Amino acid sequence: MLFDERPMENEQVDQEEVWSAIRYLGPDERDKDREAKAATIIAVLALLLMMCAVWVVLWLRVQGL
């Protein structure tokens, strides 16, 4: 027989072993989160800059300059 058909009841997995495996499988999740936050901040700053530029242009037109 190729596979052992015994139930895995006798095998216990240590929680530390499980968490270390989880960290190993996804070590760059924090980097992705940081990149997403940085992209969000850059996008918000770009929108604010565009809104300020439009406001300045409109203000200059009202002033007749």
Q: What tokens were used for 5?
A: 């058909």
Q: Which domain holds residue 18?
A: 14-63
Write out pLDDT tens, residues 10-53: 566 677 777 766 666 665 767 778 888 999 999 999 999 999 99
In a domain, 4, yes or no: no
Residue 42 lies in a domain: yes
Cα(49)–Cα(47) distance, integer angstroms: 5
Q: What is the pLDDT of residue 56?
A: 96
Q: Is residue 7 part of a domain?
A: no
What DSSP state is assigned to residue 6? S
Residue 2 lies in a domain: no
Say how many domains are in the chain: 1
Can you give the pTM of this predicted structure? 0.53
**Would you say residue 5 has pLDDT above 80?**
no
- 13-25: b (≥16 Cβ within 10 Å) or e: eeeeeeeeeeeee
pLDDT at 1 (0 to 100):
47
What are the pLDDT digits (tens) for 43-56? Answer: 999 999 999 999 99
